[in-house]
Structure 1
């Protein structure tokens, strides 16, 4: 309670427009679309550059996995001379050009510590580490699906004498030339889900492979619906193919749900307004909260989220900044009694 009072007692700098958290593709796209609607914004980025995930936490030989026409951001196509599958460097250069074209200047080294909605004044108060706080009417979370790496706790790992790195820290295989390297994937019955699916699809149709994967999931996880987790009737491959939804890999959350440490709600939005709905309606929360780039549709989904968010905020912006009509003067006729 003391922390909450301290948070709201801090003096906040007023932001005339939305506060965007994250200067990756999603954050840049939102800022650009907002400009098209005449809405100013502020981007807070914890790193010292735009698209820090692409620049610092991806391997050197990375290329876009989809043709460029499906990965370009709104209002600004890729250069014509770019190949169909741009490289990591080309994509970063494209993002730099995107920011320059729309005159987007994120505030770097601004790590957001907390964000809370003040119901008394209808504003979002965003606190950054060591730099004070900002207050604004709208908050757009565009930190990305893979902003934080997940490192599982493995027995005996602490006593291992070799190097241990996360996949996001891998740059190239040159550092491991001539060495023995063990890659630890997320596995199901000794094989990764993807490997198992590919193996089965050599002989079986997609619908049957999905049924087998559903049965294996039930065998391993049991009945999770009694804990408030509704599982889709379709399999993971068909679900991804038709709706763009990616199955969740359990890394310990299920055990905490079963023990009661994590409570499962059934509302359309969580209590802080974060949307749970998948693409295409998962971009809007409550109280002026938006989430861009979390709908499991890659860069195309992020662009769609950005356009919808900007249009929605732009509509409210125009309503709230519309000049008030001056009242028409009413002239009274004075009648004197004689």
Structure 2
């Protein structure tokens, strides 16, 4: 057994016969959720191993976001545990600033993920009482299969692990460029072109705005109702205002107040083809995970006609799209702002904590802990603040057991040492 396994901590992991016994939890994912959990574990004195399929931390932010992206919420609601944003950062940090913050966060807490480790499957071995996590390593241009054996497994791959590619009739016949939002960087390459943006969430709105700013001609597909709120009301963050009201008022009343304030600031948006859902924005976020759009300028472009709002798609033709109302548009390119989904069901062999859609079955705030040492972080549908809360809970839960067992081991060693001394005399 000793020749097959070796106990390792966070900075002493190496391959030995393709099997590694980890002295502490394995964290799958080096995004903000995984980094936050690792930092909290570090504070608890618990060793860990972080596995990341890409070659950098926060790969979603580094590789699959557009250039003009900024945090939608004020920085105090987006910072990770134990380390705030630099004081000189603006209220809404840019993409580059947020990436720099995450990289400095990893350095500060000495988090050194094992990059290019793509998890293939993870299952709990009831016989041994350990999790078995199998990965394929793509480092040094060679593929190596590695199995990590651990007592605790933290799933930190997040809500946005894989992009959603919808099946739309005739799309493969379109002939023009088709791009998912994850591959979009700037509207510069679309200057002067007619672009169909499929999706009207925060990404769809921002991509449409960016296209306008680069003199493209976007048409945005709005297939269903959507809540659009101003990012700020009377100089105060709408999100911060909602948080303050939630401390004193019931959710349904906060929703009504938010919609009334949004009407005062934005006016009636339904006349522009943006129908509001019957359920309030906060209730819809809590029940279905649908985030309201925080407007940063797209609505003004919709009013002016620079962004053309169109209904759902019936099918594509070469260089054209037919809408459900029978209208046919000539278009040069298609941008799919159709969102992302969890990839947990593809690799985690478990049916108690996670449902088939890759999210915890239990509603917030109870979905962070499963059975047999399994944890979930970053699946609250409450952004970075929800992930931070989960990370602290997980670290405290594991840390409590770790400290108890470490204390017991020290007592055993001390007792053994005393017996040895007494035998010598």
TM-score range, shorter chain: 0.7 to 0.9
Separation of aligned partners in 2, 1:191 and 1:185: 8
Structure 2, unaligned runs of 5 or more? 1-16, 137-143, 202-220, 230-258, 270-274, 292-350, 420-425
Structure 2 residue corresponding to 1:277, chosen from 362, 373, 384: 362
> CA separation of 1:279/1:128 partners in 2, compared to 1, >3 Å: closer, same or farther?
same
Aligned to 2:164: 150
How does the TM-score come out when normalised to structure 2?
A: 0.59
Kindly state the Cα deviation for residue 237 of structure 1 after the two structures are TM-superposed. Answer: 2.1
Matched, 1:66 2:73: yes
How do 1:229-268 residues align onto structure 2 when only pairs under 5 Å count? 235=279, 237-240=281-284, 243=286, 246-247=289-290
Aligned to 2:14: none
Structure 1 residue corresponding to 2:145, chosen from 116, 125, 131: 131
Q: How many residues align?
A: 274
Separation of aligned partners in 2, 1:244 and 1:191: 20
> CA separation of 1:315/1:154 partners in 2, compared to 1, >3 Å: closer, same or farther?
same
Separation of aligned partners in 1, 2:228 and 2:74: 27
Runs of 4+ deviating beyond 3 Å: 189-192, 195-198, 200-204, 267-275, 324-329
Kindly state the Cα deviation for residue 192 of structure 1 after the two structures are TM-superposed. Answer: 3.3
> CA separation of 1:318/1:238 partners in 2, compared to 1, >3 Å: closer, same or farther?
same
Superposition CA RMSD, Å: 3.1
Is contact 1:236-1:247 (8 Å) kept?
A: no
Aligned to 2:192: 178
> CA separation of 1:186/1:59 partners in 2, compared to 1, >3 Å: closer, same or farther?
closer
Aligned to 1:300: 385
Q: Per-residue displacement from partner, 1:195-214 (whole Å, max 9, x unpaired)?
A: 6998x96569xxxxx9x845
Separation of aligned partners in 2, 1:147 and 1:63: 20
- Which has the larger strand fraction? 2
Separation of aligned partners in 1, 2:76 and 2:58: 19
Separation of aligned partners in 2, 1:66 and 1:128: 35
Aligned to 2:179: 165
Separation of aligned partners in 2, 1:97 and 1:65: 21
Q: Per-residue displacement from partner, 1:208-235 (whole Å, max 9, x unpaired)?
A: xx9x845xxxxxxxxxxxxxxxxxxxx3
Kindly state the Cα deviation for residue 271 of structure 1 after the two structures are TM-superposed. Answer: 8.3
Separation of aligned partners in 2, 1:270 and 1:178: 46
Structure 1, unaligned runs of 5 or more? 1-9, 205-209, 215-234, 249-266, 330-338
Aligned to 2:397: 312
Aligned to 1:232: none
Separation of aligned partners in 2, 1:115 and 1:34: 21
Aligned to 1:286: 371
